[in-house]
Each structure stands twice: as structure tokens, then as C-alpha cells.
Amino acid sequence: MSAAAASPTSFASRRKRLAEVSSRHRSWSIVVGIAIVGTVLPILAAIPPFTLATPTNAWMDGFTNAGVFVLLAIGLNLVVGVAGLLDLGYAAFFAIGAYTYSYVASPFGNSILGIKFVEVVSPDIAGLVFWPMLLVGALVAALFGILLGAPTLRLRGDYLAIVTLGFGEIVPIVFLNADAVTNGTNGVGGLARPALPIIGSFSALNPWPYYVSMLVVVAVVMMLAYRLVESRLGRAWEAIREDELAAAASGINTVTAKLLAFALGASTAGIAGVFNASKLVTVSPDQFTFIVSFTVLAMVVLGGMGNFWGVAVGAFVIYTINNVLLKVLNQFFDQVSFPILKDIDFIQLQFLLYGLALVAMMLWRPEGLFPNSRRQRELHTAMTEPGEDELVTAEATSEEGQR
Amino acid sequence: MKLARVGAALAAAAIVVSACGGSSGGNKVLTIGISFPLSGSSLASAGPARDGALLAIKDFTLAGYTIKTTIFDHAVNGSHDPQQGSKDMTTLVADPTVVGVVGPFNSSIAKVQIPISNEAGLLQCSPANTNPDLTKGDAGKQLRAKAPDKINYVRVATTDDIQGPAVATYGIKTLNLKSVAIIDDTETYGKGIADAFAAEWTKLGGTVVGREGAPKGTTDYTAILTKFAAAKPDAVFYGGVTSTGGGLVRKQMEQSGLTGLAYLGGDGIQDGNGSTDGGYISIAGAAAANSFSSVAAIHDIPGAADFAAKYKAEYKVDLGSYSASGYACAQIILQAIKTAAAKGDVTREAVRAAATDTATKFDTVLGPVSFDAVGDTSQKIISMYKVDMTAAGGKGDWIFDYQVDYK
Amino acid sequence: MTALPATSEAGARVPMGASLRPLLRLVIPALLVVGAYAFMGPEQFVNAMTRGAIYALIALGYTMVYGIIELINFAHGDMFMMGAFVSLTFLGQILGLTGSITEIAKLAPLLVAAFFISMIVMGAVGVTIERLAYKPLRAAPRLAPLITAIGVSFILQNIVMLKYGPYQTNSPKIFPSVDIVIGTAKIPALSLFIIVVAVVMMIALQLFIGRTRLGRAMRSTAADRDAAQLMGVNINRTIAITFLIGAALAGAAGVVNGLQYGVSRFDDGFQAGLKAFTAAVLGGIGNTVGAALGGFIIGFIEVGATVMGFSRWGPAIVFGTLVIVLVFRPSGLLGQQLGERA
Amino acid sequence: MSENPLDNEPILVAEGVSRRFGGLVAVNTVDFTIPERAIVSLIGPNGAGKTTFFNVLLGVIDPTAGSVVFRGRRMIARPERVGFESLLWVLPAVLLGLLSGLLAEAGIVSGRLVALLGFLTLMLLVGSLLLAIIRPVWYSTALERIGIFRSARPNDMVTAGVGRTFQNIRLFQNMTAIENVLVGMHTQLHGNLLEAFLQTPRVKAEEKAAERRADDLLTLVGLHGKGNEGARNLPYGDQRRLEIARALAANPKLLLLDEPAAGMNPKETLDLVALISKLRDDLGLTILLIEHDMKVVMGISDRVTVLDHGEKIAEGTPEQVRKDPRVIEAYLGAPAA
């Protein structure tokens, strides 16, 4: 780490000290960090420029939605960023988490399980099941992560990618066509909203309980993710990503480690699924298309693979571009009466702008917004000695690392 | 640092957007929200509905009030996104000036929006939802969990369980068809109407000789159609809309030995004449002859021709499949606003109450409409149309055949 | 070299297996094809072949690009879609054709021109995209170009949507709908034409890769880029040519698609691309013969699923088969050649 | 210690190991034993099959004939009846599937129960697949009892007590030196998932101890104070040493070094030879060296084995081997008599 600091400006050194402190007191720094972000966002949403765009409540709702993607990005980062397994079907686990919640928390789901629960208790009670269901959703998704991961583990690199992509397609098709147990294309509605003992069932109109719960869930998940990555297992994953043969020669059962990466990544998606389902109070197969998998992958790559704070920021940025910025461009230029731009229908240009944004961001920062320290080191070597050979080795290493 | 830059961009956007708020000239501002999937392929069907609604709102004036519209597109990366739909509805209910919403378009979006608008008591009128589960029975009640008896969601389209059987009856009784092969697009509307059609068809003594599904995005139907051809049906029923394959199926029937067979469908393929871009007749071309479809409206509405002309003058294109429904929804909301204004202050609750009053009859471009106890249209007249390839200057058009009241 | 002692168990077995294997390699596929024909009947067999031919043409480009720069080019499906639009613009909007043309003398030059124009235009688009979006990222982490590929896919879709609208656009079906009667079965001549075109292009591609200097450069670059560079191969040009050929083949697939289905839409590329990618992987990604084979296999799986009444499950069955094949052959059906690299 | 280590009990016995690639026989019926606490070397000219043999010993590739017994347990051999294993894990699921199908046809079970049976079938299939992939020791033993055999995988060999280095250094380049050693310690640490999540005192203590031990190992190989350097920034000789430290971290009984002196200058080579002797004398390790260069191994080896064209052509003390005419011929390429 010491070698990397080539130009010790005060900013760089301060940043480095911050990084050191945060890595020594990881859990506290996460709690503090999330608390700061969690306080700043509502304040921003409550002051003029932002309130005038959309009401504070809508902002809060948007932040909570973004939180779902932050969770997904953290989970996928475990698989892609840390363990180096390219997963293109991550939405499958998101779906599994959501449907898991629907079985316990909806009348239709209850009838499939053969129990009577949601219909007979009050919403304030039924909603309590949300909290344990976060865990159950995680476990069920992890189980499916193992089930779907098992046949793929002999595969290398992009073969793995296509198989995961296949599962990402198969799972929604199963939910779509297995009418008897999933209500098919109609999806499952009438899910119980989460509830807490004193405040009762959450309301669609008050975004605060969802927002605060989301902050807590993100903080806990991120804390656990960091603890995991800094453990023996996390080291094993990084070793596999760098050099699978050497990892095996160090005694790591690469198969089990990869399977665990799949399972744990999936469990995070399961949590996100439960949360999202409890917020939308409906699950249907069209919530879990390939585009979700891809969006989350873009968030991870853009944020900086391997860095959990980075991918969280990546998730937030892409969500904001895609679901907020691109949606308000029309009104924006209408209002400023900008000569030519106001006549353009930006809603029709969303794809184009989003595509351009992705290409531009990747060209501008190929290693992501906040690459983790290892990858930065990698890049640093390439930059200080920009000889042809050095570039080639950097590339070779990074290729090696991805597989 | 990047976040800061994005934040700055956001702030700039927000400042500008903000300028649209506030009241104008002492009038009370009322906002009508429009919530549709408006980008990607969804635009093909939802765009006309939006344009129809905007046309109705544009012409409307009410002394003392300024009517504004706010349009939300909940298509993300090309297809309707429930999470975005829910966020848009949250945004709409959070704005106190919003008194009614035209939308949504897809059932899966309705399922996430209705619980929110129901809790807020905000009137929603969908021009296109036909899934019975959105209003009726336990499923409907579950969506209105917070206020089950305070209906806030109405729709001008007749549900699948009426339209599907209507087409079946027409096929058996009027066209004297015996056997049918059914294909649907696996979406909520397509599968729903196909199921309802199949049930009624069998009940009326017809036989269903094939039932297949092909998800949207399918371009090759030859395998399914070749299979159908072997069963020698009298007709093919398509459950779905043109953009998910209605025209393609018809076009490929030629290649697969099903030339000239009768082709039945719901209102999903009733979308303009042979010169409408992307419409059923223009895609199927000459093969469109001998096609039949239903529309959940009376045929002979006095204002209809007038509306079509006005629409064409405004947008320079012919009516799309849901233009009239979008227009009708806006008409209903506007009329409810008028009623509320006549009674007192126009509040969200007053508009909702006015619109869902089962005694009120709304004069719309679809004919007189009123709503039953769950918010479904009581207008249960289904009109049947068939394609006449000599109409519309030889390009082909849907010609009214007959209508039945399914009350 | 040194022979194993004849007493060794392994030594006794190996020659027998070795002599049987090539025979099995011919017999098993032949049996499968005959079986499929008997099961589906001639019409569905041709349907499967036609569908497979289009997938195969797209898969070739996928696999070539992957072979040379290990990029899953998600924008490739959109090349196919744009190819269809180039052809419909040329035939329908520039020449104003609508119906079928029965005179061979008029039809043949039109077809040749449509293929030629579409392939040239798409080849140029392919090279441009490589220059702008992928080349600057050659030294970047491997997932970066994957993300730009999807970004490019969005851009291409939006461009076509702006020009042609969000709905389906008609493509003139200039090929006459003539049926060739075999027994009781009627086989459309168009289907045969498509299969022939696809097979001819595949053979031409094989010859190009196997017999020409450029083809050799492509193979050596795919095998070891640095070594190829040392041997004097112009890497940038070779990669550009790979994109050119891949995109041109996708353009050809687009023309074929227009002739066959008569309709195109801006988002057609996504599903087709996904299937083609699956085909490339099924065959062994990086292997052109494998990609073609994979394309046809997927055509057969989809049509077979429909024949058996599982049309709703089609994509699930395709991917399920892929998973099973990969479990037993982790580098695809014909993937050993590349196995050493992975 | 004073007695000849070659008289010790063998720790590893390879019998009749062959490996062929297509028509090429890379290793041909080689018998090879390593006595405990000995330093033995395997040498041979380029292409003699040393590395192939080495890879067979480590479970990287399967032999086409022969077997390797490590500490009394057969670890590596030609796979036997592996096809049956697949059958074994497909069969129960297929049977259950058929049974549920029949029961459903006959109308004995219906509705939810059918779905349940289907789900069970799937779980059974994937469960047994999972077992076959993870392959715990009890599973391999049980299979062996019914005549199904698969060689140990590289990581199984590490667990059993075999450490290795690579001919072309394969460190985790982007990790620091100490992290490399910590990865090597993987099999020695036992913190599980739950403990990692909860950061229990036990796992914290274990991590602390691991870091101390990693420091000790770095000191042992002469990298004291370089723990926080990135592996890629270390000089070449240090990288070789780091690789040895990483291998030592797993507490091996037998250490396999693949051309450890390749690319080193004479001074570095001398240091390395000293280190290797120290490992045997101080830690009691058994060491197998693979070398291309005869000079390196002569000083420290108790025994030298020479491979040429995949066959063992000589074995004995360095002195004996040095004088063996076949060895000289193999190295100098003199025409056969």
C-alpha cells in the first residue's frame, strides 16, 4: 500500500488516513457513513431546488428504490467484483426473494402453502412477518444460489456468464408459466406491508419507515459484506479471482468457495427481493427481466468492482440517471426555453442518452468510479510506466483476474 | 466528487423544473397526472392514449381553475417497470394539486399503483387495463386494502371476461366456425382474453384444436402455425396486441398453409387502418382480409368522427388503438372536476367521489359511461369489426359489423 | 514416441476407442438429424433449419469477436436488427418495392444488391463501433467493454427507433411464395434459399479463415495476440476485419430475416442476439463451426419444443439444454480447440 | 538426524505412473518414492516429463496408469468407473421422478403432492450433483469402497500435507506479501461464515495469530519487514521466497519445489540452497526438488532421480548419478552406443 502513494499531496494523504481509519474500525465507519448519507439525503430532498422538482416524499421513495439497487449491487459485487465470477442472471435471485415473501405475506401465497395467515390477522400483525422474512428470503435465495451455481462451477469465465444468463431467463419463465403455484402472468398481489410494534403497518404515503428500514438493512448488509471479505473466505475469493490454480495450490477448495460466493451474493439479492416486494405489495414476472441483471452489473462495474462503497455509489448514480435525470429532461428544457433543446422529446432519447452515458463513463474511467485499492495499484503500475510491455502485462493480469 | 457533479446536475434540473409549480393568476391549479410507459416499444400503444388524453385536457376550461398536466413515463430501459410505476404514483399523490390520473396501461403497473392511490384517495382512470382481478372479487379488495369501499380506480375498457366470450360468441354464432386454434402472447392481457375466449368457445360447443403461447419479442411463429395447420382449424384466435405479434402471426399464416383462414382477436389488434404505422392491417397487409376483432364500445357515437378529425388535425396521424380510451379517461376526470366544482371546492376527494358515483353517466367519446360498485365500466356493449381490404382507399380498414350488450 | 506395454489395460483400450470415435462422430449426428426429421416431419424440419440458419449467421459474428478479443459483444444482435432495416430501406423505401417478384432475372440482382448493401453498411458500422467504443478499452478491465457493448446496443436501438418508430415496420417480401412439394409436404422455396445462403456464407467464411493470409492473421491473433504482433501481424487491422466480417454476416442475417418474416422492429436484436450468443456458447465460443452448429441446434430445440407442446417454455428449454451440455462438456460441443486458452 | 534419511519410511510412493497426451507418452511407468525428511531431486533435460510427473503428484492432471500413495493413503490414480458415479447421482433422482410420474398417472397422488415430489426430485438431483462437486472425504471414501475412484484435487493434496511452488511464479500479484501468506494459511484457519459475520473473539484471535505466524514465516524465508509490500513490487528472488512462505503456511509435510532456482543469479541460488536445507533441518520437512540444472541439486540432495523421455533412467546419490553414462548421454546428447 505504501508504494502506491506516488504524489503525497495533502489531499491524498488525508484520504489515505481516512481509508486506514475506516478499515481499522470498519463496522463503525459503515454505521457512521450510512448515518451521514441517510441524514444528508432527506435534507437535500427538503430544500428548495430539489423540493421544487418533486415533493420530498417522492424523493424519499426514490431513495428507497435506489436502496434496493444498492443492495443488489453489493450482493453482485461479492460474486463479480470479489470472487470474479461473471453473473449475468442476478435478477433470478431477486425474483426468488420477492416470491418467497409473497408466499408468506399474501392470501394467494398462503393458499399455496396451505396456511391461513394474512387474511386472519390484522395488517399490523401480518406485517411483522416482514422482518424474519428478510432472513428467510436470504436463505431461500442462497439455497437457489447453490442449486443454480452447482452445475456451473466447472465452467470458466464466459461459459459461466452465459449459464447464469440462462438461469436469469429461466426463472422468470418458470414464474410466468407455472400458473398453479405462481399465479402466472398476473403475479401475486395483496402482499402485507411491513409493520413495527409501535408505528404499525407501513403506509404507501409515508416513505419514512421504508427509508429508515432500508438504511438499516443496507448498513447491516454492507457491514456483513465487509466482514466477509476481510475474513479467510474473502481472501480465498480474491485468491481465486487472481489465480485459480495458485489458489487451489494454497489449499483453497475453489469449488466450495465459488459456491459460497454464489450463495451469499444470491442471499443479498433475496433480501432486496423481499424488501422490494414488501414495498410494491405485488410481485409479477415482469419485475425481474434481464435488464435488471444488466443494470446491476453496470452499477457494479461503474462503481468500481470490489469496493462496496464504490458499487453503492455506482448503484445510486445509475439509478439517478436512469430513473430520475432522464425522466425530467423534458420539463427541464421546457422551463429554460432553451432554443432547440426544448423541442426535442427527451423521453424518446432515453436509450440513446443512457447508452451514451454508459459508453462515456466506461471510456472515461474503465476501472470504475472508485476502484478498490488492489485494482488501483494495478492501474498505477500501468500509468507510471506507460511502456508497451507494461500495458500488456497490466492487461494480462486484469484478464487473469476476471476469470 | 462524481457524486457532487451529478448532484449539481440534478440541482440544476430541479431548479428549472420547479418553475412549473405554484398558482397562476389567482386561479386554483389542478393537475391531472398521466402515467404511462412512454419509451421503447411501449410507446407504440401507450403514446396514442397519452395524446388522446392531452387532447381532451387541452380543450377544457373551467372558470377559476387552471388545469395542468404532468406526464410520467414509467418505462425503464424499454419496458414498463413496476418499481418506477410505484415511484411515479408516490410522486403524484405527494403533489396536492393532483386530482386525477390517467393511467396506467399495463395490469402489472396497476397492481402496484392502486394500493398507493387508494390510500391517498386519488382518482385513477385506466384506458387499457382489462384484467378482472384489478377490481373484482378478493383480488380487487386486496389491492384496495386501505380503503376497500372507497373506489378510486375506474376503467373504460371492458374486462377480459366479457370481451373474450363476446368474440367467441361472434365466431360460433355469426361466423359459424367450429374449431379454433389459439395463440397468446403470454402477457396479462393476451393470456387473460385468450383464456376467457377458450372457455366460452368450448361452452358454446366449439372445439379448441391448439393452444400455444409465444412471448413478446418472438419473430418466428412458423413452427406454431405449422402445428396448427396439421389440426385443420376453422379459425385462429390471437390473444394479445399487434406490437407483441398480432400482425406477424397473421402474416406468417400465409407461409404455413393457413392462408385465408378466419382470424379473431380482441381490441388489441383493432388499431387503425392500413396506413397506420405499425397497425395490424398495415403489418399483415393483404393477409389482413377475413380478420375480426372486438372493441368494448358502442360503434355509433355522435362525437367519434369529430374526435378523429380533431386528433388528426392536432397530431397529423390517424387515431391509434387507445387514443379514444385515453381521451375518454381524461373526459371522465374533467367531468368529475366540473361536478365537484359545481358542488363546492374541487378537492381530490370530491373528484374521486364524483367520478365513482354509480349514478353518474359520463358522456365520452366511447359513448355514455358509468361505473359500477367496483369501478368497472357499466358500458358492456361489445362491437365487432371485420377487415375490409377495399376500405380506406384500398389500404384496408376495420368495418363495423354488429354490437351486443352484455349487461 | 514410446509405446505403452501391450499388457497395460489402458494400452489395450485406447486404440479401439480411437478407431470407433470418428465413426461415432459421424453416425450420432446423422442419427439425430434423421430422428429429428422423422419426429417433426418435413415442414417443421425446414422451419427449424430456417430459424437455425438465421441464428447461426448471427452466432458467427459473436463467436469471431469473442475469439479474437474475448468480448461478449452485446451490440451484435443490434447489428442484425440494423441489417434488416438497411435492407428494408433499400428495397422498400428507395426502390419502392412491396410485393414479390417472380422473374428470376429481376429477382436475382435485387437480392444480390440487398445482401451486398446491407453487408457493406453493417460492416462499416461494425468497424466504426469497434474503433469508438471497444478499441480504447483494450487494456481496460475486462468488464468495461462489456458495459460499453450494452451501451452501444441501447444507442443503436434508439437511433433506429427515432428513424422508424417504436412499432414494427414492413419489409418487402420480394421472394415469391412458391412451395416445393415433397410428397404431401409443402416446403417454401424461400426457406431453402435461406438455408442455402447461410450454408454458402459459412463455407466461404471457413475458406477465408482457413486459406487466406488475413484468415491466418485472425487465427494467430486469436491464439496469442502478443505473439502474433511479434510475427508482424497488424493487430488493429485484424481486429477491425473481424468486426467487419462479423457485422457483415449479421447484416446478411438481417436481410434474410426481412425476406422471411417481412417485419422488423428496433428491439428485434435483443432476443435474436441472446439466442445467437447461446448458440455460440453451445458450439464452443470462439469456434466458427461450433457457432453454426449451435445455431441450428437451437433452431431444432425451439421448434421441437413447439412440436411437443411446450412453446411457452421454449427459451427455458433452450437454456436448460445449454446448461446440461455445458455440465458435461464445459467448453461447448466443439470447444476443445480453444480450451487451452481459457 | 545423523543417519541417512533415505532409510526413513517413505512419505510418498508413486508406482508405475504413466501419462500420455494423445499419442505422446509424457511419463512412462515411473516408480518413485520419497523417504520422510529427505531432500530428493528430480532432474532431466527439457521435455523429459518432469513437470508432467510433478503435476500428476499434485493432482493437477490424472495419470493414465499407476498410482500415488501419500502417507499410506492412495491419493492419485487413473480414474476408475467414474461413469458410475454420474449414474449414481442421476439414478435416484430419475427413479424418484419416474415414480412420481407413475403415481400421478395412476391418480394416487395429485395436486400439491405432485409438485412436492417434483421439487424433491430436483433437490435430489442437484443435491447429489453438489456432493459430487464438493466431494467431501467421507464421500470419496464411500465411493472407493464400491470401486469408484477419482484422484485427489490440488487442494485435497494441500489438506493432506503437500505444499508446492510454481515453475513460473504464481503469486497473487495484487495482494501484499503478508496477504499471500495468509491465503496460504487457508487450510489452517477454521473461522466459519457465522463467526466472520459476528466477528467473534475466537475468530479475531485466530486472525491475529495468523498474522503473527505469517510474519514469522516471512522472517523465516528472509522477507522480514516486507510484509506490506505488494507482491508484484518484490524483486524476483524475493518473489520466489514468498512463494515458498506461502506454501509453508499450509503446514505441509512434503514440499514440492518446481525449479526454484530458475532465473536466479548465483548468489540468490546459494541463499536458496541454504534455505532449503534449513527447512528440512529445522522444520523437519520432506522436500522434492525439480530442476533443470544439475548443479543446483547436487549439493543438497540425498538422492537424485533422472528422467528422460518420460522414463526414469537413473537414480542414486548425486555422485552416482553424475557418473552415470546414460545421464551424461541424455544431457549431452551423445549418440547411443
Q: Hey, where are the domains in chain B? A: 27-158+307-376, 160-295+382-405
Q: Does C204 touch chain D (CB under 8 A)?
A: no
| pLDDT value, residue D251 | 93
D residues 98-157 lying closer than 8 A (beta carbon) to A = 112, 115, 122-123, 126, 129-130, 133-134, 153-155
pLDDT tens digits for C163-173? 998 889 999 98
Q: Per-residue pLDDT for chain D (337 aa), expressed as one digit of tens each? A: 446 888 888 999 999 999 988 778 889 999 999 999 999 999 888 778 888 898 899 988 889 999 999 998 888 888 888 777 777 777 888 888 888 888 877 777 666 677 778 778 877 877 777 777 777 778 888 888 888 888 888 898 999 999 999 988 899 988 999 999 999 999 998 888 888 898 889 999 999 999 999 999 999 998 988 888 889 889 988 999 999 999 999 999 999 999 888 888 888 888 888 899 899 988 889 999 988 777 778 888 999 999 888 899 989 988 888 888 888 888 766 544 4
Q: Which residues partner with D32 through β-bridges?
A: D14
Q: How far apart are CA A346 and CA A146, in angstroms?
A: 43
Q: Write the secondary structure of A4-54 as one string of H (helix), E (strand) and C (coil).
A: HCCCCCHHHHHHHHHHHHHHHCHHHHHHHHHHHHHHHHHHHHHCHHHHHHC
Domain boundaries, chain D: 1-79+152-161+252-337, 82-145, 172-251
The answer to whether C90 and C264 have CB atoms below 8 angstroms apart is no
User: According to the model, what pLDDT value does residue D101 have?
Assistant: 81
Q: Residue A74: CB partners within 8 Å, gap ≥ 6?
A: A218, A221, A222, A225, A268, A308, A311, A312
Using 50, 70 and 90 to split pLDDT, how confident is the model at C19? low
Q: Over 50: is that where the pLDDT of A1 sits?
A: no
Task: Tell me which chain B residues have a C-beta less than 8 angstroms from the C-beta of A295.
Answer: 77
C295 has a pLDDT exceeding 50 = yes
Enter the pTM of the model. Answer: 0.90
Exposure on the CB side of residue B257, measured as CA atoms within 13 A: 22
User: Can you give the pLDDT at residue A385?
Assistant: 35
**Rounded Cα gap, residues A208 and A64, in angstroms:** 9
pLDDT at residue D80 in the model: 81
* A97: helix, strand or coil: helix
Phi-psi region of D105 (alpha: psi -120 to 50; beta: other; left: phi over 0): alpha
Residue B304 has pLDDT above 50, yes or no: yes
**Counting beta carbons within 10 angstroms of the beta carbon of residue C277, is it exposed (0 to 12), middle (13 to 18) or buried (19 or more)?**
buried
Q: What is the mean pLDDT of chain A?
A: 84
pLDDT value, residue A113: 80
CA distance D66 to B252: 63
> What is the pLDDT, as a whole number, of residue A381?
41
Phi first, then psi: give them for residue B220, nearest 5 degrees: -110, 110
Residue C8 has pLDDT above 50, yes or no: no
C235 touches chain A (CB under 8 A): no
Q: What is the pLDDT of residue C336?
A: 58
Alpha-carbon radius of gyration of chain C: 21
Catalogue the E-assigned strands of chain C.
Answer: 169-170, 179-182, 185-188, 263-264
What are the distances in angstroms from CA B397 to CA B271, B294, C131?
9, 14, 48
Spatial distance between the Cα atoms of C231 and C251, rounded to a whole number of angstroms: 32
Neighbour count for residue C18 (Cβ, 10 Å): 11
- With an 8 Å Cβ cutoff, the interface of chain B facing chain C consists of 40-44, 47, 77-78, 186, 212-215, 217-220, 222-224, 226-227, 242-243, 247-248, 251-252, 254-257, 277-279, 282-283, 285
Residue A389 burial (C-beta neighbours within 10 Å; 0-12, 13-18, 19+) = exposed
C interface with B, Cβ–Cβ below 8 Å: 43-44, 47-48, 50-51, 154, 157, 161, 165-170, 177, 186, 188, 190, 257, 260-263, 265-268, 270-272, 302-303, 306-307, 309, 311-312, 314-315
With an 8 Å Cβ cutoff, are A146 and D130 in contact?
yes
Q: Check pLDDT > 70 for residue B146.
A: yes
The yes or no reply on domain D1-79+152-161+252-337 and CATH 2.30.30.100 is: no
A95 alpha-carbon distance from chain centroid = 14
Q: How does strand B79-80 pair with strand B291-295?
A: unpaired
pLDDT at D3: 66
Domains for chain A: give ranges and CATH numbers.
21-371 (1.10.3470)
> Does D166 reach chain A within 8 Å, measured CB to CB?
yes
**pLDDT value, residue B20:** 44
The more confidently predicted of residues D2 and C272 is C272
Mutation to test the B interface, candidates A327, A335, A337, A358, most B Cβ within 10 Å: A327
* Mean pLDDT along residues B128-155: 89
| pLDDT at site D110 | 65
CATH topology of domain B27-158+307-376: Rossmann fold (3.40.50)
Same fold, B27-158+307-376 and B160-295+382-405: yes
Q: How far is B37 from chain C (nearest CA, A)?
A: 12
Residues D229, A3 contacting (CB under 8 angstroms): yes
| CA-based nearest residue in chain D for residue A380 | D174
Neighbours of A138 (CB within 10 A): 27
Best D90, D120, D170, D233 member to test A by mutation, with max A CBs in 10 Å, is D170
> At residue C33, does pLDDT exceed 80?
yes
Other chains touching C, judged by 3 or more CB pairs under 8 Å: A, B, D
User: Per the CB < 8 Å rule, is C151 touching A158?
Assistant: no
Q: What is the pLDDT of residue C206?
A: 92
Q: For position B117, what pLDDT does the model report?
A: 94
Nearest CB neighbour to D187, from listed A147, A154, A251: A251
Amino acid at A166: G
Distant-in-sequence, close-in-space partners of A135: CB < 8 Å, separation ≥ 6: none
Which pLDDT belongs to residue B18?
43
C-alpha cell at position C41: 416431419
pLDDT tens per residue across span C102-154 = 888 889 999 999 999 999 999 999 999 999 999 999 888 888 999 999 999 99
Helices (H) and strands (E) in chain C, counts: 12, 4
Inter-residue contact B18 to A332 (CB < 8 Å):
no
Q: Cβ separation of B226 and C44 shorter than 8 Å?
A: yes
Tell which wins on pLDDT, A217 or A374: A217
**Confidence at residue D334, expressed as pLDDT on a 0 to 100 scale:** 52
The separation between CA A199 and the C-alpha centre of its own chain, rounded to angstroms, equals: 29
Describe the strand order of the beta sheet including B123-126 as a list of residue ranges: B65-73, B28-36, B98-102, B123-126, B153-155
Q: Any idea where the domains of chain C sit in the sequence?
A: 43-269
Q: Is A274's pLDDT higher than 90?
A: yes
Q: Quick: pLDDT tens for B315-350.
A: 988 887 788 899 999 999 999 999 999 998 899 999
- Written as one letter, the residue type at C335 is G
Decide if A305 touches C, using CB distance below 8 A: yes
Tell me which residue has cell 358542488. Answer: B343
Band (A140; pLDDT cuts 50, 70, 90): very high
What CATH number should be reported for the domain whose range is B160-295+382-405? Answer: 3.40.50.2300
